[in-house]
């Protein structure tokens, strides 16, 4: 028996009846010969990990733009923390950890430079709109590997697209990632806000802390344990009513005190202007787009291709291009 087949059989014997088994995948858009070692979701996870778009996450803003310090989160560390939460929950519920991790690794690949400020800027200026979850799917389907895509399984692509709260993934593993994403950013954004002197743990209202605890670490522990306890034996990913209410009250608190805080967000207007200026520049100079995007110009509108290029940029690359195009250089006689 091949190693892959023995691993698939282990899933069948040991996983929850509600888990998504690798052997039952709905498959890929382009059929491939299966790997003789790795089940399909592990293979997807590896493809995302080795992709260029995954590596670029290390230089993309999570919340704080270009912070002065080495310990603030980036889009990469956010992704890793989502994956860690998802694996912990999936393992406890005997779900498919490889599928959960693959979705977690891919869920933010389409995020813009400068975090949600960049997303807002492109959504406002592009006539087709822009949503990072849709761009993440577009990244793995069309843009990676110079326009060939990663040819991921249906279940991973579904989880990437539907990781937003208002959407519903078809797998429990996708639902795990959807909640893990929210828990991760509330946890680490609070940690970063405390580090930056914007908040103290004691600022969180008592009606929240009496349910989830008084420290950031206690909050994370409470949320994950509650999901596991509430979901055991159910064909759904659930939270108890009290803890779920506390989670969303804490999320509202974060929006009011961090995500719209004028100190934390003082540079976002500049970032949005930079993104929109670059967008218009590439609309007028589409010859500067990468060759793989030019090859898609027969089937894709220019506005979408410009969004593809700008959303793929890191913060540093976007700033460098802006300087190159719009900041005067010292003149020197040859």
pLDDT band at 334 (very low <50, low <70, confident <90, very high): low
CA pair distance 83, 256, nearest whole angstrom: 27
Whole-angstrom Cα distance, residue 281 to residue 82?
35
Asked, for residue 331, whether it belongs to a domain, the answer is: no
Q: Find all residues with CB under 8 Å of 287, minimum gap 6, and list them.
A: none
Total Cβ atoms within 10 A of residue 328:
6
Residue 160 included in any domain: yes
Tell me, yes or no, whether 22 lies in a domain.
no
User: Is 329 part of any domain?
Assistant: no
- Number of domains the chain is built from: 1
Average pLDDT, integer, range 4-10: 97
Local confidence band at 263 (pLDDT 50, 70, 90 cut-offs): confident
CA separation for the pair 190, 216 (Å, rounded)? 7
Any idea what the CATH number is for the domain that residue 112 is in? 1.10.3210.10
| Nearest-10 Cα torsion for 278, 280, 285, 291 | 60
The rounded mean pLDDT for the chain is 95
Residue 264 has pLDDT above 80, yes or no: no
Closest of 107, 60, 270, 81 to residue 191, by C-alpha: 81
| pTM listed for this prediction | 0.96
pLDDT-wise least confident of 96-110, 120-134, 165-179, 194-208: 194-208
pLDDT at 18: 98
Q: Residue 64's domain spans which residues?
A: 3-16+41-323
Q: Is residue 34 part of a domain?
A: no
The proportion of the chain whose per-residue pLDDT surpasses 70, expressed as a percent, equals 98
Q: Residue 324: which region, alpha, beta or left (left: phi > 0; alpha: psi -120 to 50)?
A: alpha
The per-residue pLDDT for 329 is 84
In sign, the C-alpha dihedral spanning 282, 287, 293, 294 is positive
Q: Is the pLDDT of residue 86 over 60?
A: yes
Query: Is 242 inside any structural domain?
Result: yes
Residue 71 pLDDT class (50, 70, 90 cuts): confident
Q: Where are the alpha helices (H) located in 60-171, listed in sequence order? A: 75-92, 97-106, 115-125, 132-138, 144-147, 154-161
pLDDT at 196: 87
């Amino acid at each position: 028996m091949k190693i892959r087949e023995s691993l698939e059989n282990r899933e069948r014997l040991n996983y929850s009846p509600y888990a998504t088994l690798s052997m039952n995948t709905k498959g890929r858009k382009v059929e491939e010969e299966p790997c003789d070692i790795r089940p399909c979701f592990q293979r997807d996870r590896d493809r995302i990990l080795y992709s260029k778009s995954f590596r670029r996450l290390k230089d993309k803003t999570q919340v704080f733009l270009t912070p002065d310090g080495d310990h603030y989160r980036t889009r990469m560390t956010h992704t890793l923390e989502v994956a860690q939460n998802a694996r912990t929950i999936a393992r406890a519920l005997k779900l498919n950890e490889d599928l959960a991790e693959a979705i977690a690794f891919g869920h933010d690949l389409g995020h813009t430079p400068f975090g949600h400020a960049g997303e807002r800027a492109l959504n406002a200026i592009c006539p087709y709109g822009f949503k990072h979850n849709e761009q993440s799917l577009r990244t793995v389907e069309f843009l990676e590997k110079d326009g060939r895509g990663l040819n991921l399984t249906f279940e991973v692509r579904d989880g990437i697209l539907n990781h937003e709260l208002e959407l519903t993934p078809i797998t429990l593993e996708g639902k795990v990632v959807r909640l893990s994403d929210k828990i991760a950013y509330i946890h680490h954004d609070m940690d970063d806000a405390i580090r930056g002197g914007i908040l103290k743990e004691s600022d969180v209202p008592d009606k929240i802390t009496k349910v989830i605890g008084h420290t950031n670490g206690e909050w994370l522990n409470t949320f994950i344990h509650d999901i596991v306890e509430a979901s055991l034996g159910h064909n759904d990913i659930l939270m108890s009513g009290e803890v779920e209410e506390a989670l969303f009250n804490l999320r509202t608190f974060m929006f009011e005190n961090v995500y719209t805080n004028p100190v934390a967000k003082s540079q976002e207007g500049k970032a949005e202007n930079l993104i929109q200026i670059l967008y218009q520049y590439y609309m007028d100079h589409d010859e500067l787009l990468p060759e793989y995007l030019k090859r898609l110009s027969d089937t894709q509108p220019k506005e979408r291709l410009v969004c593809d290029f700008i959303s793929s940029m890191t913060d540093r690359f976007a700033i460098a291009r802006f300087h190159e195009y719009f900041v005067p250089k010292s003149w020197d006689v040859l």
